[in-house]
């Protein structure tokens, strides 16, 4: 069995939020509400455009955009705590529709599975193992704890290549966010964007995606 890609990869690097889990609607709502508590407008569309940035990077961008200057450490902690509280109140993670089939297909093709995420939840691996047993492993993950710069810098994807011991030409990335696409393309990796959220496809093409697909069913067909 061969994937219908322009080349035969040895590994697939998956982003997590908006790819493995259908978590973006909640992140968008939580960020938007946490900023509203500060009197700052931050639309859900803007949250989607910013996806991939660290929490402190996001707070800084919004403060600067509204003439509040650089946020203090206290501002960052308060806002991020509010955002996390609102997010956590929305319930258990939801696996992305079609993702189990995609992962099963990737496994059946004999390709390695990595996660490259800006998320820094302490219980990340437990959560992944709960919803997707026998699929993800600590040594095949790059998280917020590993990187200094994070997406859209190529750093997380370059670190993934190093962990995998593979050249960019033998890897495929699955992303949903423009900044994630920029990061992966900056690392020189063929990048499939799956538009699982509210952005226009153009946002993903402009970020440099090699392919833009509407959902995981389309990805399953491509593999």
Element (H, E) at 75: helix 73-88
The beta strands (E) that lie in the chain are given as 11-14, 112-116, 141-142, 171-175, 190-194, 211-213
Q: Which stretch binds Mg ion (CB under 5 A): 89-97, 159-167, 176-184, 206-214?
A: 176-184
203 binds Mg ion (CB under 5 A): no
d(CA 48, CA 187): 22
Residue 27 or 71: the one with the smaller Cβ distance to Mg ion is 27
197 binds Mg ion (CB under 5 A): no
Contacts of 178 by beta carbon, 8 Å cutoff, 6+ apart: 49, 51, 52, 152, 199, 203, 204, 206, 207
CB 70 within 8 A of CB 64: yes
Residue 220 CB, nearest distance to Mg ion (Å)? 18
> Of residues 28, 177, 181, 187, which one binds Mg ion by CB under 5 A?
177
> Of residues 9, 11, 12, 17, which one binds Mg ion by CB under 5 A?
17
Q: Which stretch binds Mg ion (CB under 5 A): 15-23, 32-40, 160-168, 189-197?
A: 15-23
15 binds Mg ion (CB under 5 A): yes
Longest dimension (CA), the chain: 55
150 binds Mg ion (CB under 5 A): no
Q: Which residues bind Mg ion (CB under 5 A)?
A: 15, 17-18, 176-177
């Amino acid at each position: 069995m061969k994937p219908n890609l322009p080349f035969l990869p040895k590994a697939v690097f998956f982003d997590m939020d908006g790819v493995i889990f259908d978590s973006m609607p909640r992140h968008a709502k939580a960020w938007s509400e946490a900023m509203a508590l500060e009197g700052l407008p931050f639309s859900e569309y803007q949250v989607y455009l910013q996806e991939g940035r660290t929490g402190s990077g996001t707070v800084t961008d919004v403060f600067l955009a509204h003439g509040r200057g650089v946020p203090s450490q206290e501002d960052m902690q308060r806002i991020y705590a509010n955002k996390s509280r609102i997010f956590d109140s929305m319930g258990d993670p939801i696996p992305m529709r079609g993702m189990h089939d995609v992962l099963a297909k990737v496994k059946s093709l004999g390709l390695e599975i990595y996660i490259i995420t800006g998320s820094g939840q302490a219980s990340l691996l437990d959560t992944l193992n709960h919803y997707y047993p026998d699929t993800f492993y600590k040594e095949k993950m790059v998280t917020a704890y590993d990187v200094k710069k994070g997406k859209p810098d190529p750093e997380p994807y370059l670190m993934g290549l190093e962990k995998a011991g593979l050249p960019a030409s033998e890897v495929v990335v699955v992303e949903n966010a423009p900044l994630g696409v920029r990061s992966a393309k900056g690392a020189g990796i063929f990048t499939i964007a799956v538009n699982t959220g509210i952005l226009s496809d153009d946002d993903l093409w402009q970020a440099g995606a090699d392919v833009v697909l509407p959902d995981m069913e389309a990805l399953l067909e491509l593999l």
